[in-house]
């Protein structure tokens, strides 16, 4: 009788364990192919994204052939933004990976920035009006953090084929392509390192909102172009 009573309990635990494994597997598949959750650890993309935000990123909403200036992208910065060897040891790396997978912590190799220069673009700052220019035309950057200048650092670059020039919206608080001028790769991020596009702020709840794709960054209206 005791054996008969214990058997359903064992079956219940097995079912729960299998259900958990299946849920984790499905979640892993979804997050590797379609959608993923990322934690925003800094203020570099304010005011659109704030430090502490959890965002939903669509891996399928990004098409390298259709990317445009003004798009916000999440990308793997290894070989460009991140140190080539950022490992801290197997245990530390495993704990960090778990926190990142749960959307609880940021990643030292994953970044979110805005596309300013596409392959072949000539990007410079600043013109006589203090604007960033692309191919000789000043661009309208209404997304830049209120009170910030487009850049306090002068730069003039030609974006190579297959790469992007990326800046944060909170320019005074952002380490971005400007910070890596002279480094290997020059701060240019390969297109194939882009993970996807943020589509939703998930947390905190008072900031729950969709992140629609912005209009392409174009010439300023005052230029009349």
- The 10s digit of each residue's pLDDT in 72-96 is 999 999 888 875 344 444 333 433 4
pLDDT for 78? 87
Give exposure, 155-186, as e/b (b: 16+ Cβ within 10 Å): bebebeeebbbbbbbbbeebebbbebeeeeeb
- Candidates 115, 217, 196, 125; CA nearest to 163 is 115
Q: Model-level pTM?
A: 0.75
pLDDT for 103? 46
| Mean pLDDT confidence for 189-195 | 93
| Mean pLDDT confidence for 165-186 | 92
- CA separation, residue 213 to residues 15, 76, 94, 217 (Å): 42, 20, 34, 11
pLDDT for 88? 44
Alpha-carbon distance 153 to 160, whole Å? 21
The torsion of the CA quartet 104, 174, 167, 213, rounded to 10 degrees, works out to 40
Alpha-carbon distance 189 to 97, whole Å? 22
**In the predicted structure, residue 209 carries a pLDDT above the cut 60:** yes
**In the predicted structure, residue 21 carries a pLDDT above the cut 60:** no
Q: Are 122 and 160 in contact (CB under 8 A)?
A: no
Alpha-carbon distance 207 to 49, whole Å? 9
- Candidates 212, 194, 201; CA nearest to 60 is 194
């Amino acid at each position: 009788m005791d054996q008969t009573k214990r058997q359903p309990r064992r079956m219940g635990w097995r079912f729960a364990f299998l259900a958990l494994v299946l849920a984790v597997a499905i979640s892993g598949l979804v997050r590797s192919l379609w959608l993923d959750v990322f934690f925003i650890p800094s203020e570099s993309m304010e005011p659109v994204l704030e430090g502490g935000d959890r965002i939903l990123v669509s891996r399928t909403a990004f098409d390298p052939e259709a990317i445009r200036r003004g798009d916000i992208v999440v990308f793997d910065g290894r070989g460009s933004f991140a140190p080539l060897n950022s490992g801290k040891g197997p245990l530390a790396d495993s704990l960090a990976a778990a926190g990142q997978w749960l959307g609880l912590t940021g990643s030292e190799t994953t970044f979110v920035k805005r596309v300013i220069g596409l392959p072949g673009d000539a990007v410079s700052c600043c013109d006589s009006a203090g604007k960033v220019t692309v191919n000789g035309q000043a661009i309208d950057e209404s997304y830049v953090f209120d009170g910030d200048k487009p850049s306090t650092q002068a730069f003039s670059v030609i974006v190579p084929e297959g790469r992007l020039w990326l800046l944060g919206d909170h320019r005074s608080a952002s380490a971005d392509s400007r910070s890596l001028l002279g480094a290997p790769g020059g701060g240019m991020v390969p297109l194939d390192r882009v993970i996807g596009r943020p589509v939703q702020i998930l947390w905190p709840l008072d900031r729950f909102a969709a992140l629609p794709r912005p209009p392409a960054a174009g010439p300023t209206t005052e230029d009349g172009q």
